[in-house]
Structure 1
Amino acid sequence: MRIRDVRAIPVSVPTPPESQVSMGFGRSVKRDAVLVRIRTEDGITGWGESHHGRSPGTIAHLVNAALAPLVTGADAADVTGVNMVLHQAQLTGLGLGTAAAIAMSGIDIALWDIRAQAVGWPLYRLLGGARRAVDAYAGGVALGYQPRGDLVDEVATLRAGGFRAVKLRIGDTPHDDLARVAAVREAHGTDLTILTDANTRYSVADALTVAPVLEEYGVAWLEEPLSRYDVHGYRQVAGASRVPLAAGENHYTRYEFAGLLDGGAVRVPQPDISKVGGLTEALKVAALASAWRLSISPHTAGTGINMAATVHFLAAQDNAGYFEADVSRNAALRTELTSQPYEWRPDGSVLPLDRPGIGVQIDEEFLAAHPLIDAPGFA
């Protein structure tokens, strides 16, 4: 089962003005992703996804120009061997580091898709799991900086659809952030689980101001208040309240996660399988988290490939936390590019697909009709 060819395809979908959301990264003007297609000599096609890294054309070029030649002809079932080759070429030395981890992720996910298809199993079974439900929260590019009444109404719509947990975007100003959280808590009561995400936009002083008040509001976690590099700051903020700190979508490989979790400041690890190095690396991160008795709640973004694979992954973990369900207004990468990536349950949980491999179908006409827009995704 040799790899015949590897191809990365960047895709961009503009977001119309009425659907744009403001958050810590800015105002969303388009959605990007990089799909990775691997075909074997046996005729099996696997699909993976690399995060856009705010530069989808660059990530796709890295896959096509630097990584694909290294793995073409390799045994598609030898995921470990392929990872060793790519780690040595791009992560051990003289490589592109973060960009390489992102690019490698799409290749790795596609290989797992191929392996599961080859044996006729859904991915969760190949990973050692079962078709068990995973709790979900409403996330994605949504619930941003908007008038409190509009935010309360958006949460009401999501709750009517079955969600029992939502993630509010903070990182604006402490005053406005706390006012929005307070409004949602007052309107929806204590039976709603509120998560918050500052998208790295706080200073340590801001985070120390906000954290004790979030504890009063019963917030279940404070995600990425600070830069990924500010380990000392995370430790300071962790001591300011009992609200757990979450982080990891901007950390890469098991090695960075080992440093992130050491010391206990971050209690909710959040690898993104399209960024961390793929499913192979995410499995190692999950094992690390399990050793610290921590649940793992992956970040998701992009297309239905990432989302479907993430649900399979969580269904195979003994320390599965939340699945981040995309409720973005511009959801075409989930609803049009791919088939439905998971089965929704009315109790606010999701089930992995029960078809061989990752289980999603790709609309290649949609893919061809939405080529790369080589411009920033946030204004």
Structure 2
Amino acid sequence: MKIRSVEAFPVSFPVPEGARVSLGIGTAIKRDAVIVKVTTEDGIVGWGESHHGRAHGAIAHLINTSLRTLITGLDAADVVGVWARIYKFQLGSHGMGAGTAMAMSGIDMALWDIRGKAVGWPLYRLLGGTSKAIPAYAGGIALGYQEPSKLVDEARPMIDAGYRALKLRVGDTPGRDIARIEAVRKAFGDEIALLTDANTGYTIADARAAMPAMQRLGVGWLEEPFPAHDHRTYAEAKAFSTTPLAAGENHYTRFEFHRVIEDRVLTILQPDLSKAGGVTEVMRIAAMASAWKLPIHPHSSMTGLNQAASIHLLCAIDNGGYFEADLSRGNHFRDTLVSTPWQIGQDGYVRPLEGPGLGLEVDEEFIRRHPAIEGPGYV
């Protein structure tokens, strides 16, 4: 079952003005992704997603040139060997760093999809897990900056659909952020879990002002108030309240997670299967975190490929937390590119797909109809 071909496709679609969401990194004007297709010599096709890294053409080009050359002809079932080869020759020494981690993540996911299809098993079973209910929160590029009453109106259908946890976007100003949290808490009561994500939009002064109020309002975590590399700032902010600090979507491989775990500052870890090194590497990160009794709440990427894979992984680790359900309005990568990646129950839980591998069908015509749109995704 050798790898015959590796293809990466940068894809995009514009976000209509009425559906744009403002958050700590700007206002979303388009959605980008990198879809990875790996085909074996005996014709098995696996699909994966590499995060776009806000340079989806570059990530796809790296896959279609350097990485494809490295792994063509290798055993598709040897996910550890493929990962190690990319690490040795591309990532470990002067090899594009985060770009390679994102690129290899999609390849690794596609190889796991192939393994499942080869034996007829869903991914969670291959990983040693079982089908179980996974709690989900309403997230994705949604619940952004707006008047508190409008935010409540956006959240209400999510609650009606079954979600029992919401992630609100903060990083605007502490005052406006807290007003929005207060409005949502008042509207839905204490039985709904409220989480927050600043998307690196806070200063240390902002965090000092906002975090005591977040503690008062029972916020479950403050995610990425600062950039991933600001270790000292995270350590200082930990003292501002008991609200847990969360991060991980912008940390790459177990080697970066080793640092943040040993720092003992972050207590909510959020590796992304399309960024941190793929399924193979996030399983390692989860095992390392388990030794410290730390939970894994995977960050959800652009497409249903990542989202379905995240649920599978949560079913296969002993320290799994929430699934981030992307509830972005009009997300064609979730609704059209692939078959249905998940369904929420009225109890607020999701379950993994039962088909082989990721359990998804991919519309290749969609890929052809949505070529890359160049330029920034946020303004």
Residue by residue, what CA displacement relative to the aligned partner does 1:16-59 show, whole Å, maximum 9, x if unpaired? Answer: 11101111111111111000000000110000100000010010
Matched, 1:268 2:263: no
| SS in structure 1 of the partner of residue 136 of structure 2 | strand
Deviation at 1:141, TM superposition (A): 0.5
Work out whether residues 170 and 197 of structure 1, in 8 Å CA contact, stay in contact via their aligned partners in 2. yes
CA distance in 2, matches of 1:272, 1:92: 20
Partner of 1:318: 318
Work out whether residues 343 and 352 of structure 1, in 8 Å CA contact, stay in contact via their aligned partners in 2. no
Work out whether residues 171 and 225 of structure 1, in 8 Å CA contact, stay in contact via their aligned partners in 2. yes
Work out whether residues 77 and 111 of structure 2, in 8 Å CA contact, stay in contact via their aligned partners in 1. yes
Partner of 2:224: 224
CA distance in 2, matches of 1:343, 1:187: 25
Amino acid at match of 2:366: F
| More off after superposition, 257-266 vs 70-79 | 257-266
Work out whether residues 337 and 367 of structure 2, in 8 Å CA contact, stay in contact via their aligned partners in 1. yes
Structure-to-structure mapping, 1:86-235, within 5 angstroms: 86-235=86-235
Give identity over the alignment, percent. Answer: 54
Partner of 1:59: 59
Amino acid at match of 1:303: T
Partner of 1:301: 301
Work out whether residues 161 and 345 of structure 2, in 8 Å CA contact, stay in contact via their aligned partners in 1. no
Deviation at 1:295, TM superposition (A): 1.0
Matched, 1:347 2:330: no
Deviation at 1:343, TM superposition (A): 3.4
Structure-to-structure mapping, 1:235-254, within 5 angstroms: 235-254=235-254
Amino acid at match of 1:98: A
Matched, 1:34 2:34: yes
Deviation at 1:92, TM superposition (A): 1.2
Matched, 1:277 2:277: yes
Partner of 1:3: 3
Residue by residue, what CA displacement relative to the aligned partner does 1:186-233 show, whole Å, maximum 9, x if unpaired? Answer: 121111100000001111121111111100000000000111111111
Amino acid at match of 2:263: G
Amino acid at match of 1:276: A
Give ranges in structure 2 of 5+ residues lacking alignment.
none
Partner of 2:370: 370
Residue by residue, what CA displacement relative to the aligned partner does 1:348-370 show, whole Å, maximum 9, x if unpaired? Answer: 11100001110111111111111
Deviation at 1:263, TM superposition (A): 2.5
Amino acid at match of 1:235: A
| More off after superposition, 193-202 vs 234-243 | 234-243
Kindly tell me the number of residue pairs found equivalent between the two proteins: 379
Matched, 1:257 2:246: no
Deviation at 1:250, TM superposition (A): 0.3
CA distance in 1, matches of 2:45, 2:38: 6
Which 4+ residue blocks in structure 1 deviate beyond 2 angstroms?
Answer: none
Work out whether residues 152 and 183 of structure 2, in 8 Å CA contact, stay in contact via their aligned partners in 1. yes
Amino acid at match of 1:285: I
Partner of 1:288: 288
Give ranges in structure 1 of 5+ residues lacking alignment.
none
Work out whether residues 249 and 271 of structure 1, in 8 Å CA contact, stay in contact via their aligned partners in 2. yes
Residue by residue, what CA displacement relative to the aligned partner does 1:136-164 show, whole Å, maximum 9, x if unpaired? Answer: 00000000001111001111111011110
Work out whether residues 343 and 353 of structure 1, in 8 Å CA contact, stay in contact via their aligned partners in 2. no
CA distance in 2, matches of 1:113, 1:363: 16
Work out whether residues 24 and 172 of structure 1, in 8 Å CA contact, stay in contact via their aligned partners in 2. yes
Structure-to-structure mapping, 1:68-83, within 5 angstroms: 68-83=68-83
Work out whether residues 10 and 372 of structure 1, in 8 Å CA contact, stay in contact via their aligned partners in 2. yes
Deviation at 1:342, TM superposition (A): 2.1
Amino acid at match of 1:154: E
Work out whether residues 270 and 297 of structure 1, in 8 Å CA contact, stay in contact via their aligned partners in 2. yes
Residue by residue, what CA displacement relative to the aligned partner does 1:247-274 show, whole Å, maximum 9, x if unpaired? Answer: 0000000000010111321000000000
CA distance in 2, matches of 1:116, 1:188: 41
Amino acid at match of 1:172: D
Amino acid at match of 1:22: S
Matched, 1:337 2:331: no
Work out whether residues 33 and 303 of structure 2, in 8 Å CA contact, stay in contact via their aligned partners in 1. yes
CA distance in 1, matches of 2:100, 2:366: 27
| SS in structure 2 of the partner of residue 220 of structure 1 | strand
CA distance in 1, matches of 2:286, 2:94: 28
